Structure 1
Amino acid sequence: MAPFSRWLLLLTTLTACTTPSAPFSGDAEVIPERNTAPWDGGAEALPERTDSVDLGPYSDCAFKLAVGDAVAACDDVSLFDQSTCTPGALDDLDTVGFYSLKARPSSSNTAYSGYSLRLPLEGGKGTLSGRALTRQEIGAGSFFTSATLPATPFSPARDLVFMGCTRPTPDRINGCYVQCAQGKVGTVGTFTAARPGIRTRGESESSGLKLVSEASVSLGMPVDVYVTKGHAYVVAVGTASKPGGLAVFNVRDPSHPVLTKTVQLAGDSYWNGVWAKDNALYIASASSGVIVYDISNPADPQYVRAVPNAPLNVHTVFVDDKRLYAMAPTPGDAVLIFDVSSPLAPVELNRVSLGAGGSGPHDAFVYEERLYVSHTEAGYHAFDVADAEHVYPMGGYSFDGQYAHASAVGTFAGRTVAFEGGEYPGSHLRVLDVTDPANMKLIGEYGLRPETSIHNILLRGSKLYVAYYQEGVRVLDVSIPPKPREVAYFNTYRETDPDRTGSSLEGAIGIRVPGDGFIYVVDTSRGLLILSEQR
């Protein structure tokens, strides 16, 4: 998971994701056909539409005054032209819940602004991006709300008013808005407001996946899990009231996980990734680098050391047969490579850096002596790591506005294929032919609602397991990589779960499929969920 500041920045470019054949417009009913014939390796290169596709105005609703006109009260309902609004469309709106708002100014198709609307589940005053609402007329046929945003060094205080008009799907409201400052109309435009707590496509809780058990994690916000030796190791990021750390569960009986131990380190509360090799458990720490624990007794991890010797911000880790790869973003901006032939005593071999700056490397995947790095704003890049002490770049895939986040790589019909997922609204799954890393090409796509995004990806044979934040767990048949086909899902996200805030970075975040017949999922609120696939 990346810093909250990136979420605030990317809200300004929140846009639609895509299906395998056309820009995704919010119609989640569009699902690729069944994969019945083996793939021959052929695929047409698709154009990169980026994550900033403008689909035009969201509504015919409009504010009657023009930009620059004097206005006595921005929240005067009579100043909104609602003649094109659908009668009865808003009659059954809930008075509580979370909405993600995307505002599109009429004067521009690129300067989007994003806001989060919270209507407390217990009732009472709501907020718009943390600011108390000044009008809150939502429910019983109305979606009319406003708030005042404070002055900044670059702008005066602004009044924002949103008027709902249509409801294209149960989870979405479209309408028009106005922003006023110093008694004049500043910006007019249209908006869409998606409510992630309402499922799309008429989905039930699940299809093809069954909840076997659920175990809460009291350490903070759980974010990742690794399963080995009959135990699930869940790491959590600390919050204002909770310390973060490691929770160890005995899952030899998956229907009854048993918490055996919790582990914290003083002054070290941001543990974001976890992996294991033999008797060593590796934890990615924002303060200590990679923390090594001895899990000879799997129920009772014992601290061994932290590597490298100097403190470093490590965000995620990846382990193959002989090496540990640690992603160190700002200020490190490097992938650290360790020899782990002695798992409890990692030896640093090299540091690989693009020198691209930005948010640095987020995650990585190693396949056939190639290191594939999801390098956030710098894109997706491949390195030859056959000789860990002499690593060289092989090529990459990038576009404006990218936030490369996670990937999985495999071989299909003799082609090397990467399944690459971005993070933050507007991003989605891309299928890349990376057989020639110097000439990576886009051959397929899969996405759900444009307000949601992927966090983690696992490839097992011809199935891709996706932790898709507010969209829960999605299982895709990728036997024909250009045409990913969803075959199962489990909706983990519920607005009523403790500590939900409506952020797009909530829900299913970590996932492991260790081969014991179960899927282990971490949800940011619910904790550890163990699922089984229904055949």
Structure 2
Amino acid sequence: MPHKNMRKVCMAMVAALMLLSAPVAQACGLGIESGKWEAVETAPEQFGGVPLIEGDKNVNNLKEVASVYPEEHKGVSVTTADVFAHKGYAYLGTHVGSHSNEGVRVFDLSHPEDPQEVSVFANDLPGTWQEKVIVKSVNTPHFKGDLAAVSVQKYRQDQTKSGGVLLYDVSNPEEPEQLGFWELPEEVRTGTHELYLTQQGNRVLVLAANIYADYYTDAEFHDFAIVDVTNPSEPEMVYNWDPREILTAEDYDGYTYTDEEGAQRYAFAHSVITDQTGQYAYISFWDLGTVIMDISEPESPEVVGHTQFERHVQGAAHSAALAKGGTVLIETREVFNPDPHDEQFERGWGYTRIFDIKDKSNPKLIGDFRTMNSMIQIEAGEREPGTFTVHDPKVRGNTLYLSHYTDGVRMVDITDPSNPVEVGSYVSDPALVWGVFVDRQYILASDMNDGLKVLLNNAGQSSSSRHDVAMTK
């Protein structure tokens, strides 16, 4: 499958997003910047079509063992989004770029050098796209098995009224069965952007980031919602959070506000995760930072604290991950506009910030990680080729894995989180890596233009023995 040109992908997304009549969407990941959309091309070929993998002794056995493009079920090329793995299967979300509701693609990784697409689901809602999918094994009085929660976002208002969260039984990943659909109010013209699935005892919850919901409903409905899916056939919202609880600005309109230092800011729920216990939620609320919320009582959560940004830092809290037993917060900032209109802001791509959250009420910035490309401060009006902002973080042990668009996948040692050190990188040619997921010896990456990438560590083992260790179903 030939590589696509990123400008074509971005411009197709612009056309779709313009249909929303939303606050102007600037980034390929639906990021918001300075009120003006600017597309940038990916970097020119640098590695002669061969993926570049570099690193120290921790990743020197890493190799790409597979690169597979999703099947064209609807006769058009597929733009991929996030990736998740569960019990030896990869779940690949798809992006709005194809304009054809490509749903979630499921790949059997029994033979990781040759992943097989075995099913597709959530592809029967024209005018929508399915970026995010989370799969967990749950056990409730109403359902026992593997449950998938899928984000449903709208891009054609004339084709669909539905946005929200789809719930599927994927106990047999090759035969997914729809169980339920939690739908947002029709006037929310975006849908659920990202989500998380967690369990508290025998209670199962979906946490949904419904981007611009506050803006579209004039504050009658807010961006962050908690939905009880203990009975996935009858999902029920139990909580909806108003960010005005912690915003001191008087000019907040559900989207923009001016902070205390005079910077124009944007506040909307973009993403959310929980800790392993499901007791705390970490909501990426763009310029409002990462909001930490005690959700141990889902009907009446309490905000504990949130991160903040210095005057010169564009906010853009995009996604989060936890490290060190939940005492360290990783916050990625998706900044697609390294040449902001506000001259006091940094003039570089988005990078990763690291916080000590032993005291969740007072997150302390202790470090950051920047690639060489994201570190460069460009001149006003300059546009270097590439899309070098960070996107999503994952943590396994003391290693932080970052999807970094044109900068590929970066692997960072955070043994000392105040002194992160890059130990490896994977950059395909050309790269446009949306998501990364780590499953034991396997690293999965989703490239927007080139599908699913399977990277393998401990490359000296045989294929069968690797599978026996890492991919037992």
Q: Shared fold by TM > 0.5?
A: yes
The residue number in structure 2 matching 1:267 is 126
Aligned pair in 2 of structure 1 residues 237, 437: CA closer, same or farther (>3 Å)?
same
Candidates 199, 208, 229, aligned match of 1:326: 208
Residues 1:316 and 2:194 aligned together: yes
- Inter-partner Cα distance in structure 2 for 1:282 and 1:12: 29
Residues 1:6 and 2:12 aligned together: no
Aligned pair in 2 of structure 1 residues 490, 290: CA closer, same or farther (>3 Å)?
same
Letter in 2 for 1:528: L
Shift of 1:11: 10
Residues 1:438 and 2:320 aligned together: no
Candidates 428, 431, 436, aligned match of 1:492: 428
Question: Is the 1:365–1:409 contact (alpha carbons within 8 Å) kept by the matching residues of 2?
Answer: no
Shift of 1:492: 2.5
Residues 1:514 and 2:439 aligned together: yes
- Inter-partner Cα distance in structure 2 for 1:204 and 1:531: 12
Say which is worse superposed, 329-338 or 429-438, in terms of deviation. 329-338
The residue number in structure 1 matching 2:307 is 397
For 1:239, what is the secondary structure of its paired residue? helix
The residue number in structure 2 matching 1:305 is 180
Aligned pair in 2 of structure 1 residues 395, 423: CA closer, same or farther (>3 Å)?
same
- Inter-partner Cα distance in structure 1 for 2:356 and 2:397: 17
Question: Is the 1:404–1:423 contact (alpha carbons within 8 Å) kept by the matching residues of 2?
Answer: yes
Aligned pair in 2 of structure 1 residues 268, 302: CA closer, same or farther (>3 Å)?
farther
Residues 1:247 and 2:66 aligned together: no
Residues 1:348 and 2:348 aligned together: no
Residues 1:373 and 2:283 aligned together: yes
Shift of 1:403: 0.5
- Inter-partner Cα distance in structure 2 for 1:240 and 1:524: 11
Deviations 1:10-36 (A, max 9, x none): 9987xxxxxxxxxxxxxxxxxxxxxxx
For 1:394, what is the secondary structure of its paired residue? strand
The residue number in structure 2 matching 1:423 is 334
Supply the RMSD in Å over aligned alpha carbons: 3.1
What stretches of structure 2 of length at least 5 have no aligned partner? 1-9, 18-23, 138-145, 155-162, 215-221, 245-251, 256-266, 339-348, 375-386, 460-473
Candidates 391, 395, 400, aligned match of 1:455: 391
- 1:14-413 paired onto structure 2 within 5 Å: 195=43, 197-198=45-46, 204-207=52-55, 208=59, 209-217=62-70, 218=72, 220-239=78-97, 242-263=100-121, 264-278=123-137, 279-287=146-154, 288-308=163-183, 310=185, 313-322=191-200, 323-332=205-214, 333-342=222-231, 345-355=234-244, 357-358=254-255, 360-367=268-275, 369-399=279-309, 400=311, 401-411=314-324
- Inter-partner Cα distance in structure 2 for 1:11 and 1:286: 16
- Inter-partner Cα distance in structure 1 for 2:111 and 2:132: 24
- Inter-partner Cα distance in structure 1 for 2:238 and 2:45: 46
Candidates 417, 437, 442, aligned match of 1:481: 417
Question: Is the 1:420–1:431 contact (alpha carbons within 8 Å) kept by the matching residues of 2?
Answer: yes
- Inter-partner Cα distance in structure 2 for 1:344 and 1:295: 14
Shift of 1:304: 2.2
Shift of 1:336: 1.6
Residues 1:469 and 2:405 aligned together: yes
Q: Decide which structure has greater helix share.
A: 2
Question: Is the 1:231–1:250 contact (alpha carbons within 8 Å) kept by the matching residues of 2?
Answer: yes
- Inter-partner Cα distance in structure 1 for 2:281 and 2:99: 38
Letter in 2 for 1:508: V
Shift of 1:270: 1.6
The residue number in structure 1 matching 2:382 is none
Letter in 2 for 1:526: D
The normalised TM-score by structure 2 is 0.66
Shift of 1:197: 4.4
Question: Is the 1:476–1:486 contact (alpha carbons within 8 Å) kept by the matching residues of 2?
Answer: yes
The normalised TM-score by structure 1 is 0.59
Letter in 2 for 1:361: A
Aligned pair in 2 of structure 1 residues 12, 440: CA closer, same or farther (>3 Å)?
closer
- Inter-partner Cα distance in structure 2 for 1:418 and 1:241: 35
Q: Decide which structure has greater strand share.
A: 1
Question: Is the 1:196–1:470 contact (alpha carbons within 8 Å) kept by the matching residues of 2?
Answer: no
Aligned pair in 2 of structure 1 residues 480, 245: CA closer, same or farther (>3 Å)?
same
The structure whose Rg is larger is: 1
Aligned pair in 2 of structure 1 residues 309, 382: CA closer, same or farther (>3 Å)?
closer
Letter in 2 for 1:257: P
For 2:27, what is the secondary structure of its paired residue? helix
The residue number in structure 1 matching 2:20 is none
- Inter-partner Cα distance in structure 2 for 1:5 and 1:276: 28
Aligned pair in 2 of structure 1 residues 525, 308: CA closer, same or farther (>3 Å)?
same
Shift of 1:379: 1.8
- Inter-partner Cα distance in structure 2 for 1:528 and 1:347: 34
Shift of 1:114: 9.6
Deviations 1:61-82 (A, max 9, x none): xxxxxxxxxxxxxxxxxxxxxx
Aligned pair in 2 of structure 1 residues 254, 6: CA closer, same or farther (>3 Å)?
same
For 1:306, what is the secondary structure of its paired residue? strand
What stretches of structure 1 of length at least 5 have no aligned partner? 14-112, 119-193, 495-505
Question: Is the 1:431–1:442 contact (alpha carbons within 8 Å) kept by the matching residues of 2?
Answer: yes
- Inter-partner Cα distance in structure 1 for 2:119 and 2:31: 38
Question: Is the 1:375–1:404 contact (alpha carbons within 8 Å) kept by the matching residues of 2?
Answer: yes
For 1:437, what is the secondary structure of its paired residue? coil
